[in-house]
Structure 1
Amino acid sequence: VQFGGGVRTLADAARALDAGAARVILGTAAVEQPELVAAAIAQFGADRIAVGIDARDGRVKTRGWLRETAVSPADLGRQMRALGVTTAIYTDISRDGVLSGVNAAATADLAQAAGLRVIASGGVAALADVQRCADLAPRGVAGVIIGRALYDGRVDLAQAVAAVSARGVS
């Protein structure tokens, strides 16, 4: 289980991890408080902290997607990598919840540009999207988040796990 949303302090992160979360995701804090990201990694380890990079039209958005920044996903990714971050969750906001297909290419581009393991989020509509992300594992795509497609029955979880495993990815 990963936990994200509203994590603004080390105490918030500690509460989530103490409750059993495997990883805490820092989103807005990555842009507004990069020192918090560095402190969280120092305290909890890079394997327990990820950054959420949510973007639309090449610009990172924060505060629940309400504030647009002048920062590109790649620039934020590189900044976070310099702080010790190893994993990011990339959400293409324009695709989230609309079943239009995952932006696997942008996810892989971010992974390559920043040197991060990146989990794709937003847009998964079919098993083919999951397979596309698994095929990009050599380029740094570390996983995919499936939401609405599972709820709507468009993707069967067992089939998705089998498809990923068949490609040698976990």
Structure 2
Amino acid sequence: MGLRSFIIPAVDIKDGKAVRLYKGDPNAVTVYGENPVDMAKIWEEKGAKHLHIVDLDGAFEGKPKNYRLVERIVKKISIPVEFGGGLRSFDAVKTIIEIGVEKVVIGSLAYQNRREFEKIVETFPNKVILGIDAKDGKVAIKGWLEKTEYTPLEFAKQFDDMDIWGFLYTDVNRDGAMIGPNIEGTKYLAENLKHPVIASGGVGSIEDLKKLYSLKDFGVYGVVVGKALYEGKIKLEELEE
């Protein structure tokens, strides 16, 4: 797998548009496209092997708000889609999987209602990515607004024996800031867990990308990249497949 396959471009949706937040702040928004469907198509055409979609409205409101848009994206592209944002019930997950999403990213629900989370994993084995959003060394939930008492590894360990696909580790303080990913935190998590880890947050250059890529053997599967792609710091089409 080359660098291009390692990248999972992010399409974050807010108010029907493709945006990026700065450090998870809903008020620090940059709009990168009026139409998220077109944006998804662009990343596929540039050679993306999979796509990461986040419903930011859903993350902050507690239930997905952009089903129709996500459905249009899934129908328009042929690469697999992972989706997160407001998936806090079995029914919400069932609906999103039924419209063709390959994998779902769930964070808050695993913390708030373990029984419901277990039901989802049992019903949809190998389709759940547990989202671990870290803020100041602790796991944050509810759209990064509330911090828990768990460190990322403490939280992840509780679910590592389940039939999940793996983990998505986001350092919220770096997200959208392009100040470099949390290499040590990502490596520590990956080498102490059985399931693969997807990194997220902070990638701003090819050098950042290569540092994460070097952690492949520790269990780091890929990295979600947003702002660096949108602003041309990393050009997907120029990377080796």
Normalised by the length of structure 1, the TM-score is: 0.90
Between 129-138 and 64-73, the greater mean CA deviation after superposition: 129-138
Three-state SS of the structure 2 residue aligned to 1:52 is strand
Q: How far has the Cα of 1:20 moved from its partner?
A: 1.3
1:75-121 CA-to-partner distances (Å, cap 9, x unmatched) read 11100113333411000011000000111221121112232211000
2:176 to 79, 97, 101: 97
RMSD: 1.3
Match of 1:40 in 2: 120
Gaps of 5+ in 2: 1-80
| d(CA) in 1 for partners of 2:205, 2:238 | 11
1:109 to 185, 188, 195: 188
Give the partner amino acid of 1:5: G
Match of 2:160 in 1: 81
Match of 1:53 in 2: 132
Q: Is the 8 A contact 1:112 1:139 kept in 2?
A: yes
Query: Does residue 14 of structure 2 align to residue 14 of structure 1?
Result: no
Q: How far has the Cα of 1:31 moved from its partner?
A: 1.1
Query: Does residue 103 of structure 2 align to residue 23 of structure 1?
Result: yes
| d(CA) in 1 for partners of 2:233, 2:178 | 9
Three-state SS of the structure 2 residue aligned to 1:98 is coil
| d(CA) in 2 for partners of 1:148, 1:77 | 27
| d(CA) in 1 for partners of 2:115, 2:238 | 41
Q: Is the 8 A contact 2:125 2:164 kept in 1?
A: no
Between 148-157 and 29-38, the greater mean CA deviation after superposition: 29-38
Match of 2:150 in 1: 71
Q: How far has the Cα of 1:8 moved from its partner?
A: 1.0
Greater Rg by CA: 2
Match of 1:145 in 2: 224
Q: Is the 8 A contact 1:126 1:155 kept in 2?
A: yes
Aligned length: 161
Gaps of 5+ in 1: 166-170
Q: Is the 8 A contact 1:100 1:125 kept in 2?
A: yes
| d(CA) in 1 for partners of 2:101, 2:209 | 24
Q: How far has the Cα of 1:130 moved from its partner?
A: 1.7
Percent of pairs with identical residues = 34
Q: Is the 8 A contact 1:104 1:132 kept in 2?
A: yes
Match of 1:168 in 2: none
Q: Is the 8 A contact 1:120 1:143 kept in 2?
A: yes
The structure carrying a bigger strand percent of its residues is 2
1:24-52 CA-to-partner distances (Å, cap 9, x unmatched) read 01010121122222211110112x11110
Match of 2:233 in 1: 154
